[in-house]
Amino acid sequence: MIDYLPKDIQAGLDEARKRDLRRRSRLRVLAGEDVYPILRFWETGFTLDADQVQSLRGLVDIYDGARHLYQSLIVASDIDNGELVCEMKRSTPAHDQAPLDYARDEDAPAGYLPRG
């Protein structure tokens, strides 16, 4: 088995792999004004293309297309095999409405009519 590939062939294979990951993933990370496609995503982190961004830390938003999924805090990032590996300290799911301060009764009316 061949353990060594010429540098130009290895670079071409790596670029094709990254392009395929970018094309398949709809996930994006929004850091300030910058938007980067997420190559791989797991519970405690994700990877970005190291050619697009060299380091990333702080509070970011993660989107699936136009849908806001998470607000995450990145505490560490490191480049590994052409990918920027970002580790998240926390990842809070985004909600489309504010949480309630009370438990809603199952049989509660949808609204009240004024006394007439």
Domain containing 50 equals: 28-93
With respect to residue 1, please indicate whether it lies within any of the assigned structural domains: no
With respect to residue 101, please indicate whether it lies within any of the assigned structural domains: no
With respect to residue 44, please indicate whether it lies within any of the assigned structural domains: yes
Q: In the chain, pLDDT over 90 holds for what percent of residues?
A: 33
- The answer to whether residues 29 and 48 touch, using CB atoms and an 8 Å cutoff, is yes
With respect to residue 7, please indicate whether it lies within any of the assigned structural domains: no
With respect to residue 23, please indicate whether it lies within any of the assigned structural domains: no
Domain count, the chain: 1
With respect to residue 9, please indicate whether it lies within any of the assigned structural domains: no
Residue 87, CA distances (Å) to 2, 9, 33, 52 in order: 34, 30, 21, 18
With respect to residue 116, please indicate whether it lies within any of the assigned structural domains: no
With respect to residue 10, please indicate whether it lies within any of the assigned structural domains: no
pTM of the model: 0.66
What pLDDT, on the 0 to 100 scale, is given for residue 71? 93
Q: Looking at per-residue confidence, does 109 or 71 come out higher?
A: 71
What pLDDT, on the 0 to 100 scale, is given for residue 36? 92
